[in-house]
Amino acid sequence: MSDPIENSENIVIEGAYCPLPLEHSEQIVIGHGSGGKMTHDLIQKVFHPYFKNEYLAQGNDFSLIVPDRFDRNKNWVFTTDSHVVTPLFFPGGDIGRLAICGTVNDICVSGGQPLFLTAGFIIEEGLSISVLHKVLASMREAANEAGVSIIAGDTKVVEKGKADQLFITTSGFGLASPLIQLGGQFAKPGDQVIITGTIGDHGIAVLAARGELGFSSDIQSDVAPLNHMVQSLLEVAPHTHVIRDPTRGGLATTLNEIARQSNVGIVIDEINIPVNPTVHSVCELMGFDPLYIANEGKLVIIVPEEEADLALKEVQSTLYGGKAAIIGKIVSEPPKRVLLKTTMGGTRILDMLAGEMLPRIC
């Protein structure tokens, strides 16, 4: 999108083509990645209308950002994330919403406010342009909701079979107050562990959309931008120690990462973990464990005990936090381990996911 804008009015037709080439306005062909007129048209006609802003209007290969004088004392937060998902559209979301929210959320867990995103598109030859329109519209909606601008972009087209329809890489830039210190290494014994809602919804929604379950379900992906939730949280609980989004590998894997980084133990009460009843049923049938299933709109928040109740109430009052719950606490022993108090009252290790989760045999 920040490809140089040529003056399209000045393009001179050098001679009549016979027969006239097809315009290819219905699907992506290799020519759309040539860097020539087709690329230019694709960017102008398909991409730009969705992401109009002062930066893209500069029309350069770059976007120049002049920092506000208030921003000069802030920390910079930078992140990048690639998105591949089959199918591109699933109940509750699509690859476009995922690409915006994934990067927005990676910035906001630093406590920072995401401001600018860039987007790189790798498109497989043959992708319908109407699909691209739908994805871009969804990206715009998610970006507006998060309050971020997409200020640079790039497209490449690869031959049929060299990619799976559409891959999107987004990078993000944000600013954070230097007073906020968040990170996986800051969990302290006594802290409380909050999950901001039901776990496993995204993974099961995508699995169901692939038709791999052999039955349909009403599960919606939870994919959502969580920056507003984080800002509200930090107003009432400024001493929050850790915020992390439990995406691939699920809640269990995220908790293990934090336990290792902070050299602490974490004890979780299974009975308090919110799980949507349909997700629960699907997991029972397929032999999956919701603790290991991906989320795209949830946060694990680790907060000092004295701020925990306020933090919980605040999160519960936000759009995506209605089902938030305190699910456990940080302990000093055993370090680097997550223990689960089972619904039966027993205790066991809750480990990271090893490899791919496999459905059971019988």
Q: List residues binding other proteins (CB under 8 A).
A: 212, 214, 277, 280-281, 284, 286-287, 341-349, 351, 354-356, 358-362
* Nearer residue to other proteins within complex by CB, 15 or 214: 214
- At 9, list the tokens: 């009015």
* Nearer residue to other proteins within complex by CB, 16 or 361: 361
DSSP for residue 51: S
To the nearest whole angstrom, how small is the minimum distance from the Cβ of residue 342 to other proteins?
5
Chain centre to alpha carbon of residue 154: 19
* Nearer residue to other proteins within complex by CB, 11 or 349: 349
To the nearest whole angstrom, how small is the minimum distance from the Cβ of residue 217 to other proteins?
14
To the nearest whole angstrom, how small is the minimum distance from the Cβ of residue 198 to other proteins?
15
Orientation of helix 95-108 relative to helix 227-236, angle to 10° = 20
Cα dist from 237 to 106, 111, 182, 232, 268, whole Å: 19, 11, 12, 9, 21
Rounded to whole angstroms, the Cα distance separating 314 from 329 reads: 19
* Nearer residue to other proteins within complex by CB, 21 or 214: 214
Chain centre to alpha carbon of residue 41: 29
- At 176, list the tokens: 């954070």
* Nearer residue to other proteins within complex by CB, 180 or 353: 353
To the nearest whole angstrom, how small is the minimum distance from the Cβ of residue 131 to other proteins?
25
* Nearer residue to other proteins within complex by CB, 1 or 251: 251
To the nearest whole angstrom, how small is the minimum distance from the Cβ of residue 344 to other proteins?
4
CB 300 within 8 A of CB 226: no
Rounded to whole angstroms, the Cα distance separating 325 from 314 reads: 11
Helices (runs of H) and strands (runs of E) counted in the chain? 9, 13
To the nearest whole angstrom, how small is the minimum distance from the Cβ of residue 211 to other proteins?
11
